[in-house]
Amino acid sequence: MPHRNSVPDLTSNRLEFALEAAGLGEFEWRLDAGSLYISDRMAAITGTTAGEFPAVGDATMLAAIPEADRLVLRGAITAALQGDGRYEVEYSRINPADQRPQWLRVVGVVTQDENGQPTVINGFVQDVTARILEDESRRTLMAELDHRVKNVLSAVQTLATQTSRRTTSLDSFMSTFAGRLKSMAAANELLTAARWRGASVAHLAAAELGGIAPGQTRWEGPELFLTPRGANALALALHELATNALKFGALSADSGRVEVRWTKLADGGFELIWIETGGPSVVEPAHRGFGSTLLDQVTGRELNGTVKVDYRSGGVRVRLRAGAMALVERPDDVPEGPRFVPVEIGPVSSGPIDLTGARVLIVEDAVLLALELETGLSEAGASVVGPAYELDEALALLDQPIDAAVLDANLNGHSVLPVAEILAERGIPFVFATGYGDNGGAPGGFNAPVIRKPYDVTQVAAAVAALLAAR
């Protein structure tokens, strides 16, 4: 190692470069002479003074180290002196130069004399604060992810339970539940794009209204961002209102219109107005389903406000007031918002789907979903090829006769595009079934339908049938 009395040569220059590149600072602790040498690099890292200092015992070496970590370092040094002659310790301290918390990694090697007595400890010091903070941040993020996943699963369970209690048939349940689930998924896509800092009211409105009844919906208002909790609540509320408008309200007629406007309130919250016009005459329903319960009891509470539904004969009008706690500052990362393209597959088909004799390849890395796809396509009469759970499996199956394919965009970190390219070259149609939130079109620029997860398997069967019919 470079020393104050060393003569520079090619080897020492290389060592200098290596130490500089690795961010290491060196020291030499002479136990026999009672001195400690600190290099310029170590001084810069630790915020201390470079040079040679008296070091009787370990007081100088352990100075500026908190008592708890001092005991750890002293124990490691003692064990090295009595054992294999090497120690490595990480400890926290306050850098005396700038008073910031700092984590250091210290590696030392003991040199002994001919009698086996320790004489010198040579070592290196490295600032590992960034790595420690990154590890802590990762643990925090994983704990937060675990918390959010459990919340989402609980919400899905509740939606399933409440929906089942208010539907009279399995088909009705699947249709209603799938719609609510997709609404939650749309809100989560927007939140994920903004790193769960918040979601725009305009983007939530566009996600729910932009893909239905083209030309019959309109939304406007100032740029406002909701908390994750508020975003999910508003997404579900808008979904319920849009669903009712399509079934019974303004959007059930070509002449009907839906307008959504929101404004910022003086108290820091906001007010959103849903207005339906031009549809059939409205009467207040005698039966109140889960959608009404959600609006009355859930949406207002989750948004720290109130919801009032007015069943006017000319069209439903809803006034939603949200408190300031439902809003957040504009996130650093804001997605462009939903874009609507013709490749997106729409509602579940109401008629029977016939895939009799069709050989359909399934490429999907989620085993449960692959099994569900296999069951659904088989029930429609298809002969399933696969499923393939990995890219290599999918490529190997391409030697078999195939009429159409269902492709997950990502297979355990590997793109499915090599499979799509071969299918396209052979003129075999395929549909993408993906959980990724990009609404800009099919992956890889292919002219192929896209179904966003979560979806009903009937949607996939309908898409495959449409592809085969178009050949």
Provide the 3-class DSSP secondary structure of residue 272: strand
Helical segments of 9-102, H only: 10-22, 40-46, 67-82
Q: Which amino acid, 217?
A: T
Give the whole-angstrom CA distance, residue 431 versus residue 76: 60
- The SS3 of residue 43 is helix
Q: Return d(Cα 111, Cα 139) in angstroms, integer.
A: 39
Query: What is the token pair recorded at 247?
Result: 């079934």
Residues in the chain: 471
Among residues of the chain, what percentage have pLDDT more than 70? 74
Alpha helices in 66-169 (DSSP H): 67-82, 129-165
Cα 89 from Cα 125, distance rounded (Å)? 10
Q: Which residue has the higher pLDDT, 434 or 144?
A: 434
Question: Model confidence over 177-215: pLDDT tens digits?
Answer: 676 666 566 656 665 654 556 788 888 888 778 767 667
Other Cβ atoms closer than 10 A to 340: 12
Percentage of the chain lying above the pLDDT 90 cut? 18
HSE-CB for 6 with a 13 A CA cutoff:
13
Q: What is the pLDDT of residue 147?
A: 54
Residue 426's pLDDT band (cuts 50, 70, 90): very high
Question: When comparing pLDDT for 60 and 51, which is higher?
Answer: 51
pLDDT of residue 65: 63
Indicate the angle between helix axes 367-379 and 457-469, nearest 10 degrees.
50
Q: What is the mean pLDDT of the chain?
A: 78
Lowest mean per-residue pLDDT among 91-105, 144-158, 168-182, 211-225: 144-158
Distance CA 292, CA 311 (A): 12
| Average pLDDT over every residue of 250-273 | 91
Burial class (CB in 10 A: 0-12, 13-18, 19+), 439: buried
What Rg do the C-alpha atoms of the chain give, in angstroms?
A: 32
DSSP-assigned beta bridge partners for residue 93: 102
At 282-340, the pLDDT tens digits run 888 776 665 676 677 667 788 888 888 888 888 999 999 999 998 988 877 665 555 43
Go through the domains of the chain in sequence order and give each one's CATH number.
10-127 (3.30.450.20), 140-328 (3.30.565.10), 359-469 (3.40.50.2300)
The first and second tokens of residue 271, run together, are: 């007010």
Q: What Cα–Cα distance (Å) separates residue 65 from each residue in 40, 90, 94?
A: 19, 11, 8
How large is the average pLDDT for residues 127-132? 90
* Pair of tokens at residue 124: 């290196």
